[in-house]
Structure 1
Amino acid sequence: MFKNALYYQEEKESYKAKVLSCLVLEGKEKATWEKRVGKSFPALFLLRLSEEPFYPEGGGQAPDKGTIDGAELLFAENMEDEYIVHLLEKGIPEGTEVLLKVDYAYRRRQSENHSGEHIFAGLISSRFGYSNVGFHMELLGDNPHVTVDFDGELSEEELSDLESAVNAVIRKNLPIEEKYLEEQNIEKQKIEEQNNDEQDIEKESKGEELGKGRAVFTKKQEDKPEFRQKKALSGAIRVVSIPGVDSCACCGTHVKRTGEIGLFKLLSFERHRGGTRVFLLSGELAFLDTQKKEKLLFKVSRKLSTDYQSLSERVDKLKEQTEEERGRRIALSLQAVELLGNTYKKERYRHIQEKAVLSGKPLLGEGLEYYGNKNLAVFHFPDFEMILLNKACESLKSYVDTDFFCFSRRGEREWQFAGAGQAGFLERFKKWKEEGRFSGGGKEEMLQGRFRGSREELKDWIDSAR
């Protein structure tokens, strides 16, 4: 974190600078940077510049985006609070004057979301005493979001109230201020607080009024503010404050006033390590997310021929109808399974009497079929999901006196199955798994899993299975 850094003070999109150094990355060092970026490059270079307008990664905030001499800035990192390095896939000779362009629209989105998170975390701290123990912004891609972890549980109702409270702070258009604290001032504050505590203990033992004679905290005592922090800090500390709402040690970028955020929106939440993980968005991205969801809801309401207010009730009725239809489908499917089982049993008996090989259709069509040999039978149910395969398998036990599988295709080279068999079936299945095509498992009386291979490969396996 740099005092008075350009990315804190200015909102320019273009700068001129000189290249102070250009280091080519090779071997493990290059691989380390590629892992951070998540992509491989023919060549990579680290540049130091005479001007440093790009925000470097830190405090849960990703680095700025932009270009240097027309080349995409891949990453920017703060090196021990001394200088910033800039990652490019092209080298630029030392001493060259270059044009720097900051993607200010991206910076703006980061600032809006960082400021919105500060208001949210500040209100949670003051109302519930919970601390922010994790923070990350992911603002690119199809699912932009901010993730914040708190060390206490929050209910849906409490979060809804907090969402309203954050938007109320936004509408007040309060200033978002920054100030720097030197390490010695912080130590002085700690000593004074300790002395005051000791004085209170002594006065309490004497029955005296607590706080008498103590200096009262006022706005003028700006060397002694209270602020949130996530970890131990040293050196110059930047504190970002919103009057009456929050004060927090932070190295990120922020908007100047809360009104610039525009909108704060909670996306979802979940229990996480004894606390609460919250997903949220602020500013332009919150508006775009809300707009996208509203368009989807209106589209669905039109398709269902109902108004927006009645959509939930209409969906509930459709769900009931779907469950009824699913029940009828399962009943009809199991009737078909019974017919197939009867057909198999009759043909199996006929082939035993004639000492012939079991035939059936070799899984070539799209209907319910069976195929196999005297040791193994395979039943084909083209569109059965796993729950139906299990039911079919249970039903067929009364018709089949050998090992058997109920298969359903999942792709050109993948099948799902449920199976049952005679004594030792599970051990035989384990041996088949060793051949490499099967996965899955279960109990002696019922197992399920996947088979990898084409229809022809499945047929060949059935013919050779013993």
Structure 2
Amino acid sequence: MEKLYEAQPYLTQFPATVESCTQGKKGWDILLNQTAFYPEGGGQPYDTGTLGGVPVLEVHQREGRVVHTCAAPLEAGSQVEGQIDWPRRFDLMQHHSGEHIVSGIAHSLYGCDNVGFHMGSDVITIDLNVELTPDQVAQLEARANQYIWEDHPIAVTYPTSEELEHLEYRSKKALTGQVRIVSFHGADTCACCGTHVSSSGQVGLVKLLSCQKFRDGVRIELVCGKRALDYLSQVWEQNHQISNLLSAKTMQTSGAVRRLLEENAALKSRILTMEEQQFAALAQQYAGQGDVVVFESGLSPDSLRRLCGAVQAACGGRCACFSGEDGSGYQYAVGQPGGDLRPLAKALNQALQGRGGGKPDFIQGTVSASQDQIQAFFQEHM
């Protein structure tokens, strides 16, 4: 089988003869006399497209042959036209070449090796065996894009065994037989079986999205080409919306958000103080009354917990606090110093369609019941 994709990565249509067609687990497995479909391998996903108008679902290499898994059978001996899904192929070419450029420059700048590589549908990841600082990551991105914009040619060669002995190149595993070398002059030289763009400028752009500690080094997420443009366009649109909502200039949204957070923190602190005063005054109304049930609207779970604590300290018995409204349900917090509220929680949840639990002396959760039903329950269980 002639592997056309190795020498002609820009080939999108090709004629072929069907050599065999057998039913497999995921469809019909078809062998051709030649193919431009890239099989999954080397970190690069397989191509998709059509053969004789039939969708190609997956492409894998088995025992040196490229197997096309198709949605319907094709007659052995027939002539078919292959059609590659070019947008998908070119996207993968941009990302594979972008990965080589980033990995090669990372090695030259920081002496790190690429020890892992995965091309996903959203982002690609590169695992490097050296930890990088944020400044180093920024420098890596800048250098990679500079190399892309300089539009260096990319070469694919098949050196002899003698030539390989004197050639420095990256490879993640021991290689046997004919070795295919992909060279990015001034950036990277690597043994690779994948498809690549013809010059670095066709990568367009590389954007490093994140850099996280991973094992002894870092894992970098990145996007290239159209995916990078789409990502940056989405980020710009989000920032534009934030700019309009905050009445801030586009490049000043972070400052506006910081001020908003500071104002929000100040308001939360003020509300907390006012709630503490309100809860203390409310608790005095129940001083010495023993077991009590309290309803207070508009409280968060944390506020409800603090109200329960304040009333419990004053009433001298078990305190059950509820916040909510009929129709949408209530949150609850129940406390009893030295008590065991777990049987009560089970009965409460069962009788009032509730969910929740907690410690022996304090439980918290929600119920789907009315105020009258809640009061009736506690009249029976007080």
Q: TM-score range by the shorter chain?
A: 0.7 to 0.9
What's the CA shift string for 1:8-29, capped at 9, x where partnerless? 414232233333333324xxxx
Assess, with a 3 A threshold, how the Cα gap between structure 1 residues 334 and 232 changes in structure 2: closer, same or farther. Answer: farther
The reply to whether residue 138 of structure 1 matches residue 82 of structure 2 is: no
- Pairwise mapping of residues 308-457 of structure 1 onto structure 2 (< 5 A)? 308-335=250-277, 337-338=279-280, 341=283, 345=286, 349=289, 377=293, 384=300, 386-399=301-314, 401-402=317-318, 404=320, 419-425=334-340, 428=343, 438=355, 441=358, 443-446=359-362, 454-455=368-369
Distance 2:128 2:299 in 1: 45
Q: Tell me which residue corresponds to 1:40.
A: none
Distance in structure 2 (CA, Å) of the matches to 1:273 and 1:316: 34
The residue that corresponds to 1:114 in the other structure is 96
CA apart distance, 1:333:
4.2
Provide structure 2 residue ranges, at least 5 long, that are not aligned to the other structure.
none
Q: CA deviation at 1:274?
A: 3.1
Offset from partner CA, 1:186-224 (integer Å, 9 cap, x none): xx6xxxxxxxxxxxxxxxxxxxxxxxxxxxxxxxx5653
What 5-or-longer segments of structure 1 have no aligned partner? Answer: 34-43, 189-220, 353-373
How many Å apart are 1:6 and its aligned residue? 2.5
Q: 1:255 to 1:454 in 2, by over 3 A?
A: same
> 1:148 is matched with which residue: 122, 126, 132?
126
Question: What corresponds to 2:73 in structure 1?
Answer: 91
Which one is further off, 231-240 or 97-106?
Answer: 231-240
Matched residue SS, 1:78: strand
Instruction: Describe the shift of the 1:403–1:307 C-alpha distance in structure 2 as closer, same or farther (beyond 3 A).
Output: closer
1:74 aligns with 2:73: no
Question: 2:118·2:126 contact (CA, 8 Å) conserved in 1?
Answer: yes
Q: Distance in 2 between matches of 1:404 and 1:101?
A: 70
Q: For 1:115 and 1:179, locate their aligned partners in 2 and report how far apart those are by CA, in whole Å.
A: 15
Normalised TM-score (structure 2): 0.83
Structural mapping, 1:18-417, within 5 Å = 18-25=17-24, 30=25, 44-80=27-63, 82-139=64-121, 144-181=122-159, 185=161, 221=163, 224-335=166-277, 337-338=279-280, 341=283, 345=286, 349=289, 377=293, 384=300, 386-399=301-314, 401-402=317-318, 404=320
CA shift in 2, pair 1:45/1:426, >3 Å: farther
Task: Tell me, in whole angstroms, the C-alpha distance in 2 between the residues paired with 1:439 and 1:416.
Answer: 10
The aligned amino acid for 1:107 is R
Cα deviation, residue 110, structure 1: 0.9
Question: Which moved further from structure 2: 287-296 or 327-336?
Answer: 327-336
Secondary structure of the structure 2 residue equivalent to 1:94 = coil
Report SS of the residue matched to 1:153: coil
Is the Cα–Cα contact under 8 Å of residues 403 and 425 in structure 1 kept in the other structure? Answer: no
Q: Is the 8 A contact 1:337 1:396 kept in 2?
A: yes
Q: Give me the whole-angstrom Cα distance separating, in 2, the residues matched to 1:459 and 1:232.
A: 74
Counterpart code for 1:134: G
Q: Secondary structure at the match of 1:62?
A: coil
Cα shift at 1:51: 2.9
For 2:338, the aligned partner's letter is: A
1:73–1:88 Cα contact (<8 Å) kept: yes
Q: Deviations over 1:169-195 (max 9, x none)?
A: 11221111122356xx2xx6xxxxxxx
CA distance in 1, matches of 2:376, 2:17: 72
- Structure 1 residues 72, 434: CA separation in 2 closer, same or farther (over 3 Å shift)? farther
1:463 to 374, 377, 381: 377
Q: What is the number of equivalent residue pairs in this alignment?
A: 376
Match of 1:86, SS state, is strand
Identity of aligned residues (%): 30
* Distance in 1 between residues matched to 2:311 and 2:6, nearest whole Å: 71
Higher strand share: 2
Cα distance, 1:328 vs structure 2: 2.7
**Structure 1 pair 377–285 and aligned structure 2 pair: CA distance change class (3 A):** same
Give secondary structure in 2 for the equivalent of 1:237: coil
Report if aligned partners of 1:407, 1:418 keep a CA contact under 8 Å in 2.
Answer: no
SS in 2 for 1:54: coil
Q: Distance in 1 between matches of 2:203 and 2:209?
A: 16
CA distance in 2, matches of 1:278, 1:290: 17
2:157 counterpart SS class: strand
For residues 86 and 211 of structure 2, the distance between their equivalents in structure 1, rounded to whole angstroms, comes to 30
CA 20–283 in structure 1, closer or farther in 2 if over 3 Å, else same: same
For normalisation by structure 1, the TM-score amounts to 0.69
Question: Once the 2 structures are TM-superposed, how far is the Cα of residue 159 of structure 1 from its aligned partner?
Answer: 0.4
3-state SS of the aligned residue for 1:318?
helix
Cα 1:437–1:72 shift into 2, 3 Å: farther
Asked if the contact 1:55/1:63 (under 8 Å) is kept, the reply is yes
CA RMSD, Structure 1 to Structure 2 (Å): 3.6
Question: What is the Cα deviation at residue 455 of structure 1?
Answer: 3.5
Q: Secondary structure at the match of 1:241?
A: strand
**Cα deviation, residue 158, structure 1:** 0.5
CA contact 1:392–1:406 (8 Å) conserved in 2: no
